[in-house]
Structure 1
Amino acid sequence: MDVSDLIKKGESETLEFKRELNDSVYKTLSAFANTDGGILLLGVGDDGNIYGFSGDLDSLARSIRHNLGINPSIKAEEIGGKKVIIIEVSKSPVPISFRGRYYKRVGAQTVEMGWEDLQRFFLQKSGVTWDSLPSSATLKDLDEETIRKFVHMARNRLPYINENEDVESILDKLGLLEDGKITNAALLLFGKEPQRYYIQAKVRIGRFKDPITIIDDKEIGGNLFTQVEEAMRIIMGHIGVRYEFEGGLRRKEVWDYPLDALREAIINALIHRDYTDPSNVQIKIFDDFIWIWNPGKLPEGISLEDLKKEMHPSKLRNPKIAQVFYYAGLIERWGTGTFKIVRLCLESGLPEPEFREEAGGFVVLLRKDIYTEEHLRKLGLSERQIKAVLYVKEKGSITNKEYQELFKVSRQTATRDLSELVKLGIFERVEKGRYKLKTHHESNMSQP
């Protein structure tokens, strides 16, 4: 692609224009190297006008090498008698600084990395995970009872750990000690009060009537095991349960959402969250859906569609924490949690869960069955239409003729009622004049 084509594209995360050589050029090149690479056009203004560059290319290359320690591709192209320099930088495997400061690209902007950014950045570049780093806490900050309880839970997967051996030996066998110091994973998993050291290691739960009306608000601290159990307790207090009888007098609880899917989503948020981010895990409970967000986007190479597959690569941000949850029997295998959430919801007749990257983090959105009598009545449906929806839920489809016979109405009335249901996004017309429920992810009823 030539310079004219690049200028037409405009500045972006990987393309920048600079009128003249100054410090901002080196900052941008540092940012490109630290993010995803990019191209800088030297001699072009922010407005896309060409001003040209009169400097020497060899001197420019030496200056970049001296200031940044990199050797980018440098080419010149003449447009209208003016020379434009094309500097192309690849993503660097090591951090690149300019005068002791590190930069990154955020959209079309070059910004200096803050402390949290730097910590995360250096961990990524070094291959070391945050949860394996030694903590400033000590063994005294750990709760022995929680450790003993874990060992009991893990007895089938960790038969070589004796329930009576000392705490330090148990942690050592779990790989949670580094040079005699407890790791961040040990503190979060077994700490008496991990938030003394990492205030962000909390779960925030809110019950919302609508996006701005909060009915209840709770903050959960303690270790990760406590956070899972307490989060489940609070959520169960805000969702519905009904009872069905299975053969005789045996009673079965049926919750609005499968509890195992909720537990899996909470554990997923705690295991995969970015603990260098100052945000909490957040859970929002609405009438018709539950939104679970954790800081930290998906690892590179994992797509949102991959998460719905039974097997996909497992790239763990916090492998030490994940390993302990696996030993405790709280997760099955790495890389299967999101598929399990999907399977459990579909088996319960609920919409397929949604996975998103949102606000610098990852979202699991679980929806309640929207085709309930209560919800349909809120939409202003007639009694006939409500009964028709419930009929299709049970039978799978309905025709115009069946609608006429069920409700003793004319063809014209049946056509009008069914057309309204199609317009609302509840029904869709399929072959041979049949109507079926529109899938939840397509229906306009299912938007939050």
Structure 2
Amino acid sequence: MLHNNESQNVEFKESWHDKYLEWVCGFANAHGGTIYIGVNDDGNVIGLSDSKKLLEDIPNKIRNHLGIMAEVNLKEDAHIHYLEIIVPPYDVAVSLRGHYYYRSGSTKTEYTGASLNEFLLKKAGKTWDNAIEPLANIDDIDVTSLNRFIAEAEGKGRLPDVSGLTPFQILEKLRLADEKGIKRAAIVLFGKDPGKFYPNLTVKMGRFGTDDADLRFQENEEGNLVYLLHEVPNQLNRKFLIKPIEFEGLQRVEKGEYPVAALREMLLNALVHRNYMGSMTQIRVYDHKISIWNEGTLPEGMSLDALKRQHPSRPRNPIIADVCFKAGYIDSWGRGTIKIIDACKEAGLPEAQMNEEDGGFLVTLLKTGVESGVESGVESGVESDITSQVLHFLSQKPLSKSQIAQMLGKDKPTRYLNELMNKLLSDGVVEYTIPDKPNSRLQKYRLKNND
């Protein structure tokens, strides 16, 4: 048995198939790795009948199909032969028949669409926002947005002296333009009509009831980043939130329906760190929670757990991030997610939920007061609110306890929810869908006499 276990850099295969060239490609595009052929998933050597032939064939196939070199060694364990393929990491992008693969965690993924574009730029030592937009010129820049940015950056001590400069010269100072033209970051930040260049510079907002099926109304805000940072909160105040919030220049905030400091960081992170060639940013407001999703997963090597502690700042769009730093919108220490967590803690809420979902990053806040009621059940007003929500859920369809917990924003049923469901059962308000099997995994609750 091999001492190595399957991991991000080690893969076991019982026999060789040419399809495994995809794994070689994935390791070459990531951090390198080792593939053992003739070894099962448990790390036990089972051997190869054609090991000597494969020892000659595999290096040739790797060279001919991938254009790279890999070290292939014949190994022996208790007189049983197996192969070791050592793949080094490559600085250039490696493809197999026009497809680009990547080793992420313990899985192999293929880059397509926007993620492929971002990968190729990274391998070339570039970022999307630092590239010149060949179809743009200074007339595509909204001077009002640029002046608003300069006014908000005053007093932060981060902006170079731009007094007396033309708009183009200011962009040069901010590294948003050079002798070759206007960069993509300038269009995103200050463009008159950025949607003309990149179609999804939009924030889509939807007001839902208790779940995604209950859409009540929606609105879109489209424009450059400076515009969206101010207009999205205004739109949320006008139509989506019960208690208005106040983003004073995006610097000082007041307490509202949700921890506003958390909302501010959620919006900034979603707009500054998103993949601008992907889908639009989406904000969903429910009766009991609010979530913000943006296209683009975490940087390579960054885990969800790292977001809860001090971690380095590794922005997807470093030019955009630097300009926003100069205005005081964000800092450069990777503290945005920590600020969200701290704001929820100060408001008496559990940690905000942060997940990678559908090729993007999702942050969810639970309404002030609701979740604390789920946990403790002490406040009679809050308890009544939770009960009414549960009864509303069950008026739509039968639900399991886990489903009810998720609709309340919990990963699993809490002690208070268990006690509440037992009380509703004993009071005859709800009943089991499978009365004779109360502990069945298929068990659900429904309102009594609710046909």
TM-score normalised by structure 2 residue count = 0.71
Q: Which whole-Å deviations, capped at 9, do the CAs of 1:168-205 have from their partners, x for residues lacking one? A: 10000001014331111100000011111111222221
Larger CA deviation: 169-178 vs 357-366? 357-366
Matched residue type, 1:147: L
Q: Deviations over 1:200-244 (max 9, x none)?
A: 22222111111211112222211011222222123223222289x
Partner of 1:241: 243
Do the aligned partners of 1:21 and 1:42 also contact (CA within 8 Å) in 2? Answer: no
Cα distance, 1:20 vs. partner? 4.9
Structure 2 counterparts to residues 324-403 of structure 1, below 5 A: 324-368=323-367, 369-370=369-370, 371=373, 375-380=382-387
C-alpha distance in 2, partners of 1:93/1:214? 47
2:204 corresponds to: 204
- 1:15 aligns to what? 11
Structure of greater Rg: 1
Relative distance call for 1:339 and 1:112 in structure 2 (3 A) is closer
Mean alpha-carbon deviation: is it higher for 108-117 or for 173-182? 108-117
> Aligned pair in 2 of structure 1 residues 159, 425: CA closer, same or farther (>3 Å)?
same
Q: Is the 8 A contact 2:254 2:260 kept in 1?
A: no
> Kindly tell me: are residues 339 and 113 of structure 1, through their superposed partners in 2, closer, same or farther at Cα, counting changes over 3 Å?
closer
After superposition, the Cα gap between the structure-2 partners of 1:80 and 1:231, relative to the gap in structure 1 and judged at 3 Å, is: same
For 1:176-255, what aligned pairs fall within 5 Å after superposition? 176-209=176-209, 210-236=211-237, 237-241=239-243, 254-255=255-256
CA distance in 1, matches of 2:351, 2:325: 25
Q: Are residues 1:52 and 2:54 paired? A: no
Deviations along 1:287-345, one digit per CA (max 9) or x if unpaired, are: 11111112222223433333333x43111111211122222222244322222222233
1:268 Cα deviation from its structure 2 partner: 1.0
- Count the aligned residue pairs: 373
Query: In structure 1, how many angstroms separate the alpha carbons of the residues matched to 2:244 and 2:143?
Result: 39
For residues 312 and 50 of structure 1, do their structure 2 counterparts lie closer, same or farther at Cα, with a shift above 3 Å needed? Answer: closer
**In 1, distance between residues paired with 2:153 and 2:28?**
44
Q: 1:34 pairs with 12, 23, 29, which one?
A: 29
> Where does residue 143 of structure 1 map in the other structure?
142
**Aligned equivalents of 1:155, 1:303: Cα separation in 2:** 35
Matched, 1:104 2:105: no
State the partner residue of 1:398. Answer: none
Equivalent position of 1:408 in the other structure = none
Residue 409 of structure 1: aligned partner: none
Q: TM-score, normalised by structure 1?
A: 0.71
Asked whether the equivalents of residues 345 and 353 of structure 1 are also in contact (C-alpha less than 8 Å), the reply is yes
- C-alpha change, 1:374 and 1:280, in structure 2 (3 Å) is farther
Which secondary structure does the structure 2 equivalent of 1:192 belong to? coil
The verdict on how the C-alpha distance between 1:192 and 1:216 changes in structure 2, with shifts beyond 3 A counting, is same
| Residues 64 and 422 of structure 1, relative CA distance in 2, 3 Å threshold | closer
Q: What's the counterpart of residue 155 of structure 1?
A: 154
1:12 and 1:314 mapped to 2: Cα distance? 23
2:294 equivalent to 1:298: no
SS of the equivalent of 1:97 reads coil
- Structure 2: which 5+ residue stretches go unaligned? 246-252, 374-378, 389-413, 422-451
Which residue identity does 2:242 align to in structure 1? Answer: G
Q: What is the RMSD computed on CA atoms of the aligned residues?
A: 3.7
Structure 1 residues 232 and 301: CA distance shift in structure 2, 3 A:
same
Distance change (3 Å), C-alpha of 1:360 and 1:91: farther
Give 2:129's match in structure 1, choosing from 131, 154, 166. 131
